[in-house]
Structure 1
Amino acid sequence: MSKEFKSSCTTILVGKKASIDGSTIISRNDDGHAALDPQRFVVVNPADQPRHYQSVISQVQIDLPADPLSYTSVPSSILTRGIWPEAGINSENVAMSATETITTNSRVLGADPYVMGGIGEEDLVTLVLPYIH
């Protein structure tokens, strides 16, 4: 008899005041896809941050500010479904995780509804982390 286990992406954030050496740490799993979805770790420098962004899934287009911060991210290696940077830390030591789920329960969707053609999980780190202090 086989059992099917369902889980979701999980992130643990450790702030600089909670770590021994003042580091900000992210631990994260990505188990939302049926097949292996290889990840990579990148540092996005201000010159590499796009000034115009277009989502692969929703096709939303956004002009971005000209003064981004540098940040780390953990995007997908295969970009056919978008960047999916998932999590990162910027040069102001702000950390975020952003791909927990868009297919959540009805109570959460009541407060934060999924909007077709809007900003989705694949977009959040690229649109927020380079600009938040």
Structure 2
Amino acid sequence: MFEKVRYENLNARQKENYNFHKVAGRLADYGYNSLRLNDDWNGADFLAVHVGGTTVLRVQLKPRFSLYEKYRGKDLHIAFLTGYACYVYPHDDVLALVEPRGRFSETASWAERGWYSWRSLPAWTVELLKPYKI
């Protein structure tokens, strides 16, 4: 009756919906109720509200580990899936740790477009992102 979909066969909007549900399911294990937004409200694709009532994460979905100049100072978390792992990291905190390394800030992508992403996680990011793996 049910047939799994192949992620690579989905269009961009379908992939975003798929990723939202995967991340929301992981966050639910940690007491978060995720609420999808119809538009990118101040950069957020969805809100994750903790059952304790005091924590609300504004989350932007991405297909991979990414940093953006336009998200600086917006108190956003970035969520992405890689394999079976899910990461939800505070953008500005991670940006502050990665930026001094100079590994991306000198690229054309950052200089011209204000963002950089890694196709796969470099070895040096494993420890850096470990606290944000859910």
| TM-score (norm: length of structure 1) | 0.24
TM-score in terms of structure 2 length: 0.24
Q: Which has the higher strand share?
A: 2
Higher helix proportion, which one? Answer: 2
